[in-house]
Amino acid sequence: MFAALLVPVLALGACSDDNAVNKPDNNTQGGGAGKYGYKIAVVTHGASGDAFWSIVKAGAEKAGSDLGLNLTYASDGDPQKQAQLIDAAVNQKVDGLVVSMANPGALKASVQKAVAAGIPVITINSGGSDSKAFGALSHVGQDESVAGNAVGTTLKAAGVKNAICVIHEAGNVGLEQRCAAAKTALGGTMTNLQVDNNNLPAAQATIKAKLQTDPSIDGVVTLGGQVAVVASNAIGEAASTAKLATFDLNADVAKAVQSGKILFAVDQQPYLQGYLGVQMLALYKSNLNVLGGGQTVLTGPTLVTKDNAAQIEKLAAAGTR
């Protein structure tokens, strides 16, 4: 229902000679069959130890290994510090840059500096609406509005009329887009609730208190797998009958879907985001290929329900879903 057909397009856009086709360095130690040898930096906004971003990192590192790249991964949830990490990669004259943009405004100057220096950029996960304007070749991720619409539509079909949407990262435009689209598709009432992903016990207490204060709440939407688990606990502690749905996936979420504690989960395939972002840079550097023709390459949404949760759980436990 939500699948997208992706068509590779050869793009010969504006680029410097350094940004054009470069012969692979077959003498570089890379370990992968491709042995391109390019220096690729991945800079995301994911917090250290976050389950979702660990999967993104795993995908990026697997691509680096498969293709014989010199890959580095760095992350910081503070937009200003993330911008500094991008600047550092530019100063190191990397051959390509993969960036997630939860706060596009804070990263604009740094991303444009990379492009001006002849470094091709692929954005992943968030910031897709600003990717092309900032000069990036393409964006890899899910369309947050499409994903939010899927959540709202599915909850409406399940009879939900009054829901809360739990935002776990302040200032993350992608999360706000998810809630807004879900609210529109639901057609009922949906109120945003702010929590801190770095303080899960407090997040659980906040959700519990909200449910106890308003017993009419019959739906809870979380935007990350870790928050989904504590939201499930909060629903139980509040003796609420609210139906729970979540964006993003981990092994615990897959188990909860199987047991019925979570109605469904939206998987945007973070492993694929990390892998494709790196792979696309290698293909651009070696052959000027641009997947998606500069448009968003969709990795989701896909819905994980009781029908497929058992299969997905095994992959999630292995750290690839």
Which tens digit of pLDDT belongs to each residue from 158-183?
A: 999 999 999 999 888 889 999 999 99
Token pair for residue 71?
């890959």
Asked if residue 120 and residue 196 are part of one domain, the reply reads no
Judge whether 71 lies within some domain: yes
Q: Is residue 305 part of a domain?
A: no
Q: Are residues 212 and 276 in the same domain?
A: no
Give the whole-angstrom CA distance, residue 140 versus residue 122.
8
Contacts of 156 (CB under 8 A, 6+ apart): 185, 186, 187, 188
User: DSSP label at 138?
Assistant: E
Residues 281 and 137 in one domain: yes
Q: Examine the domain organization and report whether 75 and 163 are in the same domain.
A: no
pLDDT tens track for 18-72: 444 555 544 333 444 568 999 999 999 998 778 889 999 999 999 999 999 999 9
Q: How far apart are CA 266 and CA 249, in angstroms?
A: 7
Token code pair at residue 173: 């435009």
Residue 229 lies in a domain: yes
CATH number of the structural domain spanning residue 247: 3.40.50.2300
**Number of folded domains in the chain?**
2
262 with 160, same domain: the answer is yes
Tokens, residue 233:
């606990």
Q: Residue 149 has which token pair? A: 């619409």
Q: Are residues 167 and 73 in the same domain?
A: no
- Residue linked to tokens 């109120």: 191
Is the domain of 150 the same as that of 237? yes
Full residue range of the structural domain in which residue 65 is found? 8-142+269-299
In terms of Cα–Cα distance, which of 224, 227, 189 is closest to 208? 227
- Determine if the pTM surpasses 0.75: yes
Residue 20 shares a structural domain with residue 123: yes
Do both 59 and 106 map to the same domain? yes
2 falls within a domain: no
Residue with tokens 């600047």: 87
**d(Cα 276, Cα 291) in Å, to the nearest integer?**
9
For residue 96, list its beta bridge partners: 40
| Same domain membership, residue 240 and residue 275 | no
